[in-house]
Amino acid sequence: MRLAVVALVSTLALAAACAAAVATSGAPSTRVSSGNTPILPIQADDGYYKSAAAAVDARIAERGIKPAKNVILFIGDGMGISTITASRIYAGQSAGVDGESFRLAMETLPWSALSKTYSDNFQISDSAGTAVAMVSGIKTLSGVLGVNSKASYGNCASVEGNTAETLFELAARSGLATGLVSTARITHATPASAYAKTPHRNWEADTDMRGASSDTCKDIARQLIEWPEGDFDIILGGGREKFLPAGTPDPEYADKTGERSDNRNLITEWTAKSPDHKFVFDKAGFDAADFTTPAKVLGLFEPGHMQYELDRENDPAGEPHIAEMTRAAITRLSQNPEGYVLMVEGGRIDHAHHGGNAIRALEDTMAFDLAVATALEMTDREDTLIIVTADHSHTLSIAGYAQRGNPILGLSASGIGGEGGSMGTDGLPYTTLGYANGPGACVETGKDADGKPAYECKRQDLTGVDTLAADFRQPALVPLYSETHGGEDVAAFASGPGANLVSGVIEQNELFHIMGRAIGLIPAPDAD
């Protein structure tokens, strides 16, 4: 039985306990006495910033706000509402209980809202524009990090004068601990939004910049190591190749090397900063690390993204589970008596969806939910604001008239016949889960005359096909090599001080203002 499935027993027990807990907001108070001195970010004159700040301030005036010591932002990359629903059912069925009535840990948080994910220039945004909204309080262009909408995509010269400060920068400047956890490359869009200023999200290493690399336009990996605010206290994720020089062997895979062309070994530069700067790259090193010390830990567990949860056991050197990384991060950050700000990203939910591979998306969502459960277990709702949300959705749909208890990854079976039964009008069965577009619209039929894969793009007969297989791609309508994001609102769940501001339908960039006001890092609009 896979680890994610076994761990669901603990998640189920915790979810029941959390559901029984009653969150109280106390008497309304519009003043936050967190001990931090509010800092006005440089983007405070941005129209998006002002609008979101005013909306949050109005709710504070009406409902009050308690001060938070710590903030944890959980981002399930691509975890739309259909993904949450399907994962809920899958989690329950995997645990041998009723899936439809099952509750994920994130669903036990007492406050929730719908978050609007459009960017300044796209109806359906990417992870960069949406991440900037959450960590900087503005809407910006899709594809950029740490800059406002006046910057130009791919134009280094447009960065100066158009940068935005993040919650993590304000926290570090105020003496709080900071941490990043992701199952993606730590230089990928979502975690990079915490520290990078770049007009192109893909400029992760200098070789990705095609000659644009310079001291005034730095690649993302370099920006992490040279972060002006000091260093993050803990960084755990993937992406070693972006930190190692080309030709330098990867410490885990003999056939892989680094990517950098500037001959800089950024990992060595990290460890050379002080005896307390540590680096780990495998499960053994992670398990041996003491996260109760002041050591600043950089953990990069893969050359690229970390393994999908379904494949994690196949890693020869082993990888920590996202829940284990979350536990380590909270343990390390809790050493700071002033408090901390932490981001935890389930980055590979998104990648599985892009591949039209629902089972891996659901498995990674289950693992992500266990990380949420871990944080709820380790923290106090009286001093820690936890927000669980997604940056954007995907085109996953749950459709048909499947009967109660039907395997969520299986063929739709209603048992009632007639319209909406288990067969299409073409006489072929269909799966409950499907995508509006993506690689599942076509099936490989062999090789063409040049030896390249040949595809047939039509509805395939799934009779006798194992739709629960690890590599099965759910059927899709529009054939694309990579399935796309979805543009509908995503869920935001919250608990702890400031959680009472997460309700209704909100702009995604309001989450920054909720977190910043709760922890006392940004001032109220009338104090601007």
With tokens 């960017």, the residue in question is: 119
Q: Are residues 461 and 495 in the same domain?
A: no
Handedness of CA 471, 474, 477, 483 (dihedral sign): negative
Are residues 435 and 340 both part of a single domain? no
**Do 478 and 498 fall within a single domain?**
no
Domain identity same for 152 and 255: yes
Which CA distances in Å does 319 have to 88, 238, 296, 323, 412? 25, 10, 19, 11, 35
Are 404 and 387 part of one and the same domain?
Answer: no
Contacts of residue 499, defined as CB under 8 A and 6 or more positions apart, other chains included, come to 23, 109, 110, 111, 385, 386, 387
Q: What is the reported pLDDT for 416?
A: 58
Residue 293 lies in a domain: yes
Give per-residue pLDDT as tens, 211-234. 787 888 999 999 999 999 999 999
83 belongs to a structural domain: no
d(CA 352, CA 332): 30
Residues of the chain above pLDDT 70, percent:
92
Residue 93 structural domain:
3-77+89-392+487-527
Contact 463, 496 (CB under 8 A): no
Evaluate whether 80 touches 390 at the Cβ level (below 8 Å).
yes
Whether 84 is in a domain gets the answer no
**Per-residue tokens: 263:** 């001959």
Strand ordering across the sheet containing 490-495: 277-280, 296-300, 234-238, 177-185, 340-346, 70-76, 384-389, 490-495, 111-116, 504-507
Confidence band of 377 (pLDDT split at 50, 70, 90): very high
- Residue whose structure tokens are 């006798």: 464
Residue 82, in any domain of the structure: no
Contacts 24+ apart (CB under 8 A), 286-294: 286/236, 286/320, 286/324, 286/325, 286/328, 287/320, 289/328, 291/234, 291/328, 291/329, 291/331, 291/332, 292/331, 292/332, 292/335, 293/335, 294/335
Radius of gyration of the chain (CA): 23
* Joined tokens for residue 353: 């969806």
Give how many domains the chain has, as a whole number: 2
The residue with tokens 């915790």 is 14
Chain centroid to Cα 92, Å, comes to: 23
* Residues 415 and 523 placed together within one structural domain of the fold: no
Please tell me the chain's helix, strand, coil percentages from 3-state DSSP, rounded to the nearest 5. 30, 20, 50
Mark whether 197 and 131 lie in a shared domain.
yes
Q: Collapsing DSSP states into helix, strand and coil, what is residue 168?
A: helix
158 catalytic residue (yes or no): no
State whether 189 and 303 are in the same domain.
Answer: yes
Confidence of residue 34 (pLDDT cuts 50, 70, 90): low
Which residue do the tokens 């700000």 mark?
A: 341
What contacts 218, CB < 8 A, 6 or more positions away?
Answer: 198, 226
Task: Assign 28 a pLDDT band (cuts: 50, 70, 90).
Answer: very low
Q: Is residue 54 assigned to a domain?
A: yes
One domain, residues 280 and 136: yes
Averaged pLDDT for residues 383-399: 98
The verdict on residue 360 lying in a domain is yes
Q: Report yes or no on 197 lying in a domain.
A: yes
Spot the catalytic one: 127, 149, 174, 213: 127
Let me know whether 103 and 153 are in one domain: yes
Residue 192, in any domain of the structure: yes
Task: Give the confidence band of 415 by pLDDT, cuts at 50, 70, 90.
Answer: low
252-301 per-position pLDDT tens digit: 999 999 999 999 999 999 999 999 999 999 999 999 999 999 999 999 99
Whether 435 and 341 map to the same domain: the answer is no
3-class SS at 164?
Answer: coil
Q: Answer yes or no: do 468 and 513 share one domain.
A: no
Question: Of 28-32, 369-373, 446-450, 488-492, which gets the smallest average pLDDT?
Answer: 28-32
CATH assignment at residue 241: 3.40.720.10
pLDDT tens-digit map of 73-101: 999 999 999 999 999 999 999 999 999 99
